[in-house]
Chains A and B, each alone.
Chain A
């Protein structure tokens, strides 16, 4: 009995101190991430002077994600077409299907799902690439040769992702609208004229489409930054790289959904 008291206190103290250490580590990492972001922006000019590096990344993270983005968009559009018709025809307004499909894709699903797919398809591979370069000391070697690894490796991958994201989100929405058209008009038989004209009447360029493009641009910055940072900050071992890849996907998904909430509440406050 008399012994247990100091033990309890010791456990409590070590609990508090480990909590403090974790908070400290997290804050330190956040500070490093901020410094890393500023360095990334500073060295971007230097990396744009060798534009083919960024173009190469546009190919690997943008062009190669095209297929999965378009196919997923098509399926999501088809599901929206089916479910939307199912609900709308109960209220006798099946013609509003075009509005439902287009608005949900352009405002929310396009940017969000495209960004989630992009994070798991391209973000994870960027983290793996940079993390492995770090683990095999290629980044250090570059530094030794007076080649800045942020300008040479990190910045092109970041900008490749930032540029790709809005384009991919737009194509996702296009594929989705086409999928909704396919199910709604071609298979179910909603009137084609009403489908397009009601869509055009209620989708506003500045309010809906432009907001969607801004959203996907913000998601592109978030996902690319998380991907390159996780790679650059990876513990240079096999386990370290694999856990960085995992946390890229997890953190990107969380960041996308949280940012989406914030942006939506700013953009669509008054409908």
Chain B
């Protein structure tokens, strides 16, 4: 086989392989322009994060606006410190409320942001003070049972 023809076939092979990687990145994966957008990082402290994991989505009004990048335990206050990055194009007021919510009854947990009414906007490195922890099913059930038990004698 002549060298030119060989080069042609190898060129086709390499181009096809690179196109395959590009297809995986763009069509199968989530590598789109949005992922390279600049982000700013905000932290929030929760008493209990439930089953929240790193890379969980951060949503506001149901739209994904960012991702959880780090979770660690603050040994001084005995609280969970959750850091998440928010897309630069979305701004939230300083008194935004951060909640840990569950998608569906038993689905994965995510961070929900409820915007407040402050004039000032959250900056990179800010801490969200108003938070609501994850709902832990066991404590919910035990609360319900205690209430039932305390109701019983009054009847």
Chain B, Cβ-Cβ closest to A171 = B20
Contact B9 A205 (CB under 8 A): no
Interface residue SS majority, chain A: helix
Contact B30 A59 (CB under 8 A): no
Q: How far is the CA of A52 from the CA of B20 in the complex (A)?
A: 24
Contact A174 B24 (CB under 8 A): yes
Known interface pairs A52-B3, A59-B6, A170-B21. Does A207 touch B16 (Cβ–Cβ under 8 Å)? no
Known interface pairs A63-B12, A174-B23. Does A203 touch B54 (Cβ–Cβ under 8 Å)? no
Contact A55 B17 (CB under 8 A): no
Let me know if B153 is at the binding interface, CB within 8 A: no
Shortest distance between the CB of A212 and any CB in chain B (Å): 8
Residues of B within 8 A of A207 (CB): 55
Let me know if A78 is at the binding interface, CB within 8 A: no
Contact A200 B10 (CB under 8 A): no
Contact A196 B27 (CB under 8 A): yes
Shortest distance between the CB of A207 and any CB in chain B (Å): 7
Chain A, Cβ-Cβ closest to B30 = A200
Known interface pairs A167-B18, A270-B54. Does A55 touch B30 (Cβ–Cβ under 8 Å)? no
Shortest distance between the CB of B55 and any CB in chain A (Å): 7
Contact with B along A27-60 (1 / 0, CB 8 A): 0000000000000000000000000100110110
Q: How far is the CA of A213 from the CA of B35 in the complex (A)?
A: 19
- Give the number of residues in B that approach A within 8 Å (Cβ atoms): 25
Contact A204 B29 (CB under 8 A): yes
Known interface pairs A55-B6, A170-B21, A174-B23. Does A200 touch B28 (Cβ–Cβ under 8 Å)? yes
Residues of B within 8 A of A52 (CB): 3, 6-7
Let me know if A168 is at the binding interface, CB within 8 A: yes
Q: Find A58's partner among B10, B16, B18, B21 (CB 8 Å cutoff).
A: B10
Let me know if A139 is at the binding interface, CB within 8 A: no
Q: Which of A52, A62, A63, A270 has the most CB of B within 10 A?
A: A63
Let me know if B13 is at the binding interface, CB within 8 A: yes
Contact B24 A66 (CB under 8 A): no
Let me know if B25 is at the binding interface, CB within 8 A: yes
Contact with B along A164-185 (1 / 0, CB 8 A): 1011101101100100000000
Known interface pairs A196-B27, A205-B30. Does A59 touch B10 (Cβ–Cβ under 8 Å)? yes
Contact A171 B17 (CB under 8 A): yes
Let me know if A257 is at the binding interface, CB within 8 A: no
Q: Which of B6, B16, B21, B54 has the most CB of A within 10 A?
A: B21
Let me know if A201 is at the binding interface, CB within 8 A: yes
Q: How far is the CA of A58 from the CA of B8 in the complex (A)?
A: 11
Q: How far is the CA of A174 from the CA of B16 in the complex (A)?
A: 11
Let me know if A119 is at the binding interface, CB within 8 A: no
Contact B20 A63 (CB under 8 A): no
Q: How far is the CA of A168 from the CA of B30 in the complex (A)?
A: 21
Q: Find B20's partner among A59, A102, A174, A196 (CB 8 Å cutoff).
A: A174
A-B contact pairs, 30 of them (CB 8 A): A58-B13, A59-B13, A63-B9, A63-B10, A66-B16, A106-B24, A163-B14, A164-B13, A166-B17, A167-B13, A167-B16, A167-B18, A170-B17, A170-B24, A171-B16, A171-B17, A173-B20, A173-B24, A174-B23, A196-B27, A200-B27, A200-B29, A204-B29, A204-B30, A205-B29, A208-B29, A209-B21, A209-B24, A209-B25, A270-B54
Interface residues of A (CB under 8 A from B): 52, 55-56, 58-59, 62-63, 66, 102, 106, 163-164, 166-168, 170-171, 173-174, 177, 196, 199-201, 203-205, 207-209, 213, 270
Q: Which 8 A-B pairs have the closest CB atoms?
A: A167-B17, A205-B31, A170-B20, A63-B13, A205-B29, A171-B20, A174-B20, A170-B21
Interface residues of B (CB under 8 A from A): 1, 3, 6-7, 9-10, 12-14, 16-18, 20-21, 23-25, 27-31, 35, 54-55
